[in-house]
Amino acid sequence: MTHNGPAGTRTADSVGVPSSSDTSSADLSAVVRETIAEVLGTTPDAIVDSTDLRTEYGIDSLELMAIGAQLERVLNVPISAEDLMGADTVGQAVELLAQRKAGRE
Amino acid sequence: MTPQQHHSTAGRWPSERPRVVVTGIGVKTPAGLTLDEAMSAVLAARSTAALHDELAEGGSPVHFACRVPEFDPEPYVTRRERRQIDRPTELALCAAADAVEQAALSGLPSARVGVHLGTGIGGLPTMESSVREHYGDSRRMPVHAVPRTMANSAAARVAMRYGFRGSCVTYNTACASGATAIGEAARRIQYGELDVAVGGGFDAAVTAFMLTGFSRMQALSTRNDAPEQASRPFDAQRDGFVMGEGAAVLVLERRESALARGAHIFGEVAGYATNADAHHIVAPHADGAVAAACMADAIADAGLLPADIGQINAHGTSTPANDSSEATAIHRCFDGQAPPVTAVKGVTGHLIGGSGALEAAISLVCAERRIVPPVANLTEPSEADRIDVVFGAPRSVDRAPVLSNSFGFGGQNVCLVLLPAT
């Protein structure tokens, strides 16, 4: 799958990542990192598995909701801001999403 | 003027009412991205109106407006923050950042600094596009839709950015909102509630929908074939206002503390008054009596007499109704002895909520430079029987206070008296 870069997009929560039903775990990680990067105004390579969005970026609840809403739409799995708040790092969030996806399939 | 002159308003204010000065000014306007640029354009009487294709494409009968020139917002707003704000808030934040930086505030208790901004339209243009893009599709509605469009977004963002914890208020008096915010901010300082207030106004409503709405009332000029001649305050051939956009933000401060810290002082906000025509939802009262009373009240609030005013920065929208009734009101307030009158909207267009604040800033420079800018596009003054409107070239005047008028739909009248630094 291809990832449309977020560059130039200004409309919140409309990150240019395509929807896919057969996302592999590497792709899943890429989608999550790209979504987070767009909301935080950074690049996906700045977001790694060990990134802690709270301590490193001071992410707020609305930003987490924006990330959750986008992932929910793109991955077609239910994910709430509370779910994401339960993850300490990006890697944990990806793991959580992978479980959700597996559960659905 | 001397502080003793304030005693003429004894009974309303303590005799020791603090004087309020301006120590920072930031603007993001069609006429320029700094006050110097805007002032040069105003003195040159150079219109900034231009055709914008998206207006005609969007079905607006008016195809032109005065837009803020493109500039790089990166030094002011991070990409992360830009996703969460809209254009009106962005312009306000950029202007506020310039003003705060220029004032070089430091070491102030955060609770003694407030933010007072005015907007006439606020986030409505953004709500308009949200409805268009996301109606009936809740999963695509941005999480930030509400915080991005709420009218107090800009003021709250300024407070958040700098940690200003004093009163944070957003005013709406339509096209007079920016002047209201500056007047109310000055009051907070005079009353002793704040030491410093960030005060100003903003709007960015150049959309096909907004222009169509205003033109349905015949409020806008329809001069699509010559946009640069469309905004012509006090001219016999005027046919409506030209929509503008932008923000102007001032840092207001107790004069004593500004002097103590050696800040540069642009001038003083000495008088403020506001009242309402209580007459018609958009039209000003033709007899100008209430607007005249507002001018007189602002002059008295400054402890001055009408004869002390050296020039008037009129609201001057270029609508037939406003300019005529404003001329009558000025004539009435000054008993036929009004000082020279100017209006900047021939150059800037109408910044709606930003206008009153920009015009207060321009007035401070005019007071300091002892100059009255010429009105753009004015060749045939139709109000010459009542007022002396400057056109053709700038006019030199004595060092004197300036009266700045702002009026808004709803019959809102707001007048400020600005003084050169003393």
**Where does the pLDDT of residue B295 fall: very low under 50, low under 70, confident under 90, or very high at 90 and above?**
very high
Query: What digits encode the pLDDT tens for the residues B141-187?
Result: 999 999 999 999 999 999 999 999 999 999 999 999 999 999 999 99
pLDDT reported for residue B196 = 98
With CB atoms and an 8 Å threshold, state whether B143 touches A13.
yes
What is the arithmetic mean of pLDDT over B38-56? 98
Flag whether pLDDT at A8 surpasses 80: no
pLDDT reported for residue A105 = 66
- Note the pTM of the prediction, 2 decimals: 0.92
Residue whose token pair is 């040159």: B44
Catalytic residue check, B264: no
Rounded CA separation A105/B100 (Å): 55
Flag whether pLDDT at B341 surpasses 60: yes
With CB atoms and an 8 Å threshold, state whether A11 touches B142.
yes
Token pair listed for A61: 């609840």
Smallest CA–CA separation between B139 and chain A, in Å? Answer: 7
Q: Does B266 fall in a domain? A: yes
Residues in chain B closer than 8 A to A73 (CB atoms): 139-140
Q: Does B15 fall in a domain? A: no
**Where does the pLDDT of residue A14 fall: very low under 50, low under 70, confident under 90, or very high at 90 and above?**
very low
Token pair listed for B360: 């207060």
| A14 at B interface, C-beta within 8 A | yes
Smallest CA–CA separation between B122 and chain A, in Å? Answer: 18
Q: Does B1 fall in a domain? A: no
Considering only the beta carbons, identify the residue of B80, B142, B147 that sits closest to A13: B142
Query: Which of A10, A42, A72, A74 is the best substitution to test chain B (most B C-beta atoms within 10 A)?
Result: A10
Nearest Cα residue to B81 out of A17, A4, A60 = A60
Catalytic residue check, B94: no
Residues in chain A closer than 8 A to B84 (CB atoms): 12, 62
- Give chain B's domain count: 1
Flag whether pLDDT at B376 surpasses 50: yes
Share the mean pLDDT of chain B: 95
Nearest Cα residue to A35 out of A61, A3, A58 = A3
The answer for residues whose C-beta is within 8 angstroms of residue B134's C-beta and 6 or more apart is B140, B141, B142, B145
Query: What digits encode the pLDDT tens for the residues B118-133?
Result: 999 999 999 999 999 9
Residue of chain B minimizing CA distance to A9: B83
Q: Measured between alpha carbons, how far apart are the two ends of chain A, in Å?
A: 19
Smallest CA–CA separation between A84 and chain B, in Å? Answer: 15
Residues in chain B closer than 8 A to A13 (CB atoms): 140, 142-144
Q: Does B238 fall in a domain? A: yes
Flag whether pLDDT at B111 surpasses 60: yes
Query: Which of A9, A10, A13 is the best substitution to test chain B (most B C-beta atoms within 10 A)?
Result: A13
Considering only the beta carbons, identify the residue of B78, B139, B142 that sits closest to A12: B142
Smallest CA–CA separation between B83 and chain A, in Å? Answer: 5
Q: How many CB pairs under 8 A join A and B?
A: 42
- Residue B378 CB neighbour total at 10 angstroms: 25
pLDDT reported for residue B13 = 52
Domain extent at residue B374: 20-419
- Range with the poorest average pLDDT among A80-84, B226-230, B350-354, B400-404: A80-84
The answer for residues whose C-beta is within 8 angstroms of residue B170's C-beta and 6 or more apart is B116, B117, B118, B119, B122, B151, B152, B154, B155, B181
**Where does the pLDDT of residue A81 fall: very low under 50, low under 70, confident under 90, or very high at 90 and above?**
confident
Q: Does B197 fall in a domain? A: yes
- Phi then psi for residue B333, to 5 deg, are -60, -40
pLDDT reported for residue B9 = 44
**Where does the pLDDT of residue B8 fall: very low under 50, low under 70, confident under 90, or very high at 90 and above?**
very low
Residue of chain B minimizing CA distance to A39: B80
Catalytic residue among B66, B94, B350, B366, which?
B350
Q: Does B13 fall in a domain? A: no
The answer for residues whose C-beta is within 8 angstroms of residue B36's C-beta and 6 or more apart is none
Q: What is the ipTM of this complex?
A: 0.83
Share of chain B above pLDDT 70, in %: 96
| B340 at A interface, C-beta within 8 A | no
User: What distance lies between CA A47 and its chain's CA centroid?
Assistant: 10
Residues in chain A closer than 8 A to B148 (CB atoms): 12
pLDDT reported for residue A24 = 76
Rounded CA separation B280/B174 (Å): 14
Q: Which of residues 136-155 of B touch A (CB under 8 A)?
A: 139-140, 142-144, 147-148
Q: Does B261 fall in a domain? A: yes
Question: Are B230 and B64 within 8 A, CB to CB?
Answer: yes
pLDDT reported for residue A25 = 78
CA B129 to each of CA A9, B55, B135, B208, B245: distance values in angstroms, whole numbers, following the listed order: 15, 14, 10, 11, 17
CATH number for position B273: 3.40.47.10
Share of chain B above pLDDT 90, in %: 93
What domains, with CATH codes, occur in chain A? 25-104 (1.10.1200.10)
- Three-state secondary structure call for residue A8: coil
- Residue B14 CB neighbour total at 10 angstroms: 11
Considering only the beta carbons, identify the residue of B79, B144, B147 that sits closest to A41: B79
Catalytic residue check, B315: yes
| A80 at B interface, C-beta within 8 A | no
**Where does the pLDDT of residue A23 fall: very low under 50, low under 70, confident under 90, or very high at 90 and above?**
low
Flag whether pLDDT at A97 surpasses 60: yes
With CB atoms and an 8 Å threshold, state whether A62 touches B80.
no
With CB atoms and an 8 Å threshold, state whether B139 touches A69.
yes
Query: What digits encode the pLDDT tens for the residues B212-231?
Result: 999 999 999 999 999 999 99
Rounded CA separation A56/B61 (Å): 50
Rounded CA separation B192/B167 (Å): 12
| B128 at A interface, C-beta within 8 A | no
> Maximum Cα–Cα distance for chain A, whole Å?
35
With CB atoms and an 8 Å threshold, state whether A65 touches B143.
yes
Considering only the beta carbons, identify the residue of A41, A42, A66 that sits closest to B143: A66
Catalytic residue among B63, B285, B315, B331, which?
B315
pLDDT reported for residue A12 = 42
Q: Does B8 fall in a domain? A: no
